[in-house]
Amino acid sequence: MISLKEFIDTLELEPVVMADRDEINLETSDVNRPGLQLSGFFDYFAADRLQVIGKAEMQYILALEPEVRKERLDKYMSYNIPVVVVCRNMPVPPEMVEAAQRHNVALLRSRLVTTRFMLQASMFIGAKLAPRITRHGVLMDVFGIGVMITGESGVGKSEAALELVKRGHRLVADDVVEICKVSDVRLVGEAPEMVRHFMEIRGVGIINVKNMYGVGAVINSKSIDMVIHLELWDNNKEYDRLGLNEDFTAVLGVKLPKLTLPVRPGRNLAIVIEVAASNHRLKKMGYNGAQELNDRLSAKIQNG
C-alpha cells in the first residue's frame, strides 16, 4: 500500500477525482497505458498497475462517439484499478470523470509528458515497494564508496566515523541503518528520520554532525558498496595479510564484499577504512594490487 497523499505530493499531481480511501493498492512499479482496453479488448488487462493516459490514448478517447466513450470508460473503471493519471495537463472528458466517481477511482493529472512521468512514477513506486531491513551499524560515504561499518557495541564504529567526517567524508547514518533493496544487485541505506545527522560518542553524548561540521559532512542516503566489520584484536586469530581471498556477506539477498578489521589501541581505523574504500574502487576498475604482487612472485619463481 502507498499513501495517496504522498503519491500526489511527491509526483506533484493535481486531483481531478479523489477516491474515498487514503491508500492505493499497488504491488508493482510497472505501468499500464490502456490502449487495447479503450478499444474494447480487456483480455490480459493489467488492472493492478498504475494506469497512465497519454496523448495517444486521450486522442483516441475523444475520437469515440459519446455513447461508446461512456461505455468503454465505464467498463475500464469497473476493473477496480488503483489510480489513473492523465499526463500533459490535458483536459479530462466528463465521461471519464463520471466513471471515476461512479467506481471510486482516484483520477489525477500531471503536467509532465507521458514518458517522463512514467519514469518518475516507476522510480517512486519501486522505492516504496522495495524490501527493507534495519541493521545496527554506521554508513559512510568514503571517496564515493558506500561503506557500512559493523561490529559489537563499543568497538569504536562511531569514533572511526567521526574521524572520517573530520577528514572530509560524509556521514549517512549512525547506529541504525535502514536498508532498501532497490534492485537485484543494489542496496541503498539511510538514517531514520528521527536520528538523521545525529551521532553518539561515548563519554561526550549526542552531537549533530551537520550543525557541527557543516552540510557538506552529511548525506541523506547512499548505495552500500562494501561492509567493514570491526572486532577487538584476537592474538589467537589469523588475519588476512595479503587480500587475495575475498569474503562476502549477503544483505536482502545482495552479495557485498566484506572486510574484517581488528581493533587495538594505536591503530588509526579511519585511515585503514579510507585505504579499504580506495582499494575497493580500484578493484571495481579492474586493478588488484595483491594479485599483481602474487603474479610478480609467481613469475620470479618460474624464472628461477
Cite the active site residues.
136, 157, 175, 241
b/e map 151-173, b = 16+ CB within 10 Å:
beeebbbbbbbbbbbeeebbbbb
Query: Are 220 and 190 in contact, with CB atoms under 8 Å apart?
Result: yes
Nearest CA to 239 out of 281, 267, 271 is that of 267
Report the 3 state secondary structure along the chain: CEEHHHHHHHCCCEEEECCCCCEECCCCCCEECCHHHHCCCCCCCCCCCEEEECHHHHHHHHHCCHHHHHHHHHHHHCCCCCEEEECCCCCCCHHHHHHHHHCCCEEEECCCCHHHHHHHHHHHHHHHHCCEEEEECEEEEECCEEEEEEECCCCCHHHHHHHHHHCCCEEEECCEEEEEEEECCEEEEECCHHHCCEEEECCCEEEEHHHHHCHHHECCEEECCEEEEEEECCCCCCCCCCCCCCEEEEECCEEEEEEEEEECCCCCHHHHHHHHHHHHHHHHCCCCHHHHHHHHHHHHHHCC
